[in-house]
Amino acid sequence: MIDVLLVDDQQLLRHSLAIIINAAPDMTVVGEAGDGSEAVTLARQLRPDVVLMDIRMPGQDGIVTTRQISQELTETRVLVLTMFELDEYVYGALRAGASGFLLKDTNPDDLLAMVRRTHAGESLFAPAILTRLVEHYLATPRHQPPRPDGLTQREAEILTHIGRGLSNDEIATALTISVKTVKTHISRLLSKLAARDRAQLVIAAYELGLVTPRG
């Protein structure tokens, strides 16, 4: 079972999310918090697999809370909920260690799929957020540009698929290789491109021209 902690200052939204998540056969809501401080306390006690985190809350916001949980509980992944496609809070949450972002109007099936993929170790972004995030990073000069000459043809293919938002399973199917092989190539990509996580690999795919904002 995937243990999920819900963090949002709106009780009605937490209740709705709990109904959706608890109806899934492979996950359960282990706790709910209405603010950041309470979320950190519950996370320490419950050690959930995934935290669904509201980014804007009174008192301690989702960025500070994400940073605390990510630093203290390395096995817990934070999936940020936001009503906005992109603002300064999303950038802050990414730097704080968030594993992904989705909009609060995401349909239930996509929400459950994103929780599963986040638990599996993938960085995820709602399509609208990903597009804006890429545009932001492409407009920001990098101190260390990617090194395309060091990539093999297979690594470039996998990086392209990562940039398009495919999961490890989807990449394996597209290239007719095993998921284990995909993970091995991703580890090498992280090292070669000096990328911290999958999110930065997405940005690298755009910077290298393997994927364009329109496709």
Q: What domains, with CATH codes, occur in the chain?
A: 2-124 (3.40.50.2300), 133-208 (1.10.10.10)
Whether residue 215 is predicted with pLDDT greater than 80 in this model: the reply is no
Could you give phi then psi for residue 195, rounded to 5 degrees?
-95, 140
pLDDT, one tens digit per residue, over 169-207 is 889 999 999 999 999 999 999 888 887 677 778 778 877
Confidence band, pLDDT 50/70/90 cuts, at residue 140: low
Q: How confident is the model at residue 137, as a pLDDT? A: 60
Q: How confident is the model at residue 147, as a pLDDT? A: 52
Whether residue 159 is predicted with pLDDT greater than 80 in this model: the reply is yes
Angle at 72 between CA 70 and CA 77, to 5 degrees: 30
90 or 118: whose pLDDT is higher?
118
Confidence band, pLDDT 50/70/90 cuts, at residue 150: confident
80 within 8 A of 62, measured Cβ to Cβ: yes
Distance CA 165, CA 205 (A): 11
Q: How confident is the model at residue 17, as a pLDDT? A: 95
167 or 68: whose pLDDT is higher?
68
Query: What are 55's two structure tokens?
Result: 């980014």
pLDDT, one tens digit per residue, over 32-90 is 999 999 999 999 999 999 999 988 888 888 889 999 998 899 889 999 887 765 556 76
Distance CA 157, CA 60 (A): 42
Distance CA 48, CA 2 (A): 8
Q: Name the DSSP class of 148.
A: G
- pTM of the predicted structure, to 2 decimals: 0.72
